[in-house]
Amino acid sequence: MQIGFVLFPNVTQLDFTGPLQMLHRVPGATTHILARTLDPVPSDCGLGLVPTGTFADAPTLDMICVPGGFGVGAAIRDDETLAFVRAAGQSARYVTSVCTGAFLLGAAGLLRGRRATTHWAYHHLLPLVGAIPQRGRVVRDGNVFTGGGVTAGIDFGLTVAAELASPQAAQRIQLTTEYDPEPPFAAGSPDRAPVEVSDELKAFFAVRTAEFKNEISAALAAA
């Protein structure tokens, strides 16, 4: 099982490292961290991420995983990145994303008519790339798995691990990594967060999603 993670500048590192930590433990799996070059890729939190291979020398992938982040808009406008995602996704057994990585999959034509999810603030924009929005930490439609925002990537990784190996294997991975979350606040969803917190974040993301919508629309129009 050859699993390829796609990196691009300003990626959200946990979108990538959460699933990576789960999926590299799947028996028989080999993970590849892929980017345009072998240079460290800057994440959204200052952590440089080191690729293990380039798009040009990537092996044939059984699974492609695209994380999200504020760099997605630029990644969609990058011909080399978009072409790699399209080609790898068309031949892969599993096509997957976490957070706003769904929009890179969608821009590559891999989500047309598929049910998908993404970060809650961007969920309503999924039809722009032909996807059918469905709420959930992890949404499956055939061979397409999409995860919600950031930390949902861990749930996504375990869900895919169960598919690739077995539920028992996924549970062993969960126990090994002691994934037993007990968050200190019930504020992980806009439906449960305090109103003042939710309203503040909705106002912040309203500006960002408007910009992102324009980025996506412009990129699709130019394609």
Q: How far apart are CA 71 and CA 30, in angstroms?
A: 26
Strands annotated E in the chain? 2-6, 30-35, 41-42, 48-49, 53-54, 63-66, 94-98, 115-116, 132-133, 138-141, 144-147
Question: Position 43: which residue type?
Answer: S
Catalytic pick among 64, 95, 99, 110: 99
Residue with tokens 């990538």: 16
Sign, CA dihedral 82-87-92-94, equals: positive
Provide the total of helices (H) and of strands (E) in the chain, helices listed first: 7, 11
45 is catalytic: no
Q: How far apart are CA 101 and CA 66, in angstroms?
A: 5
Beta bridge partners of 49: 41
Which amino acids are annotated catalytic? 99
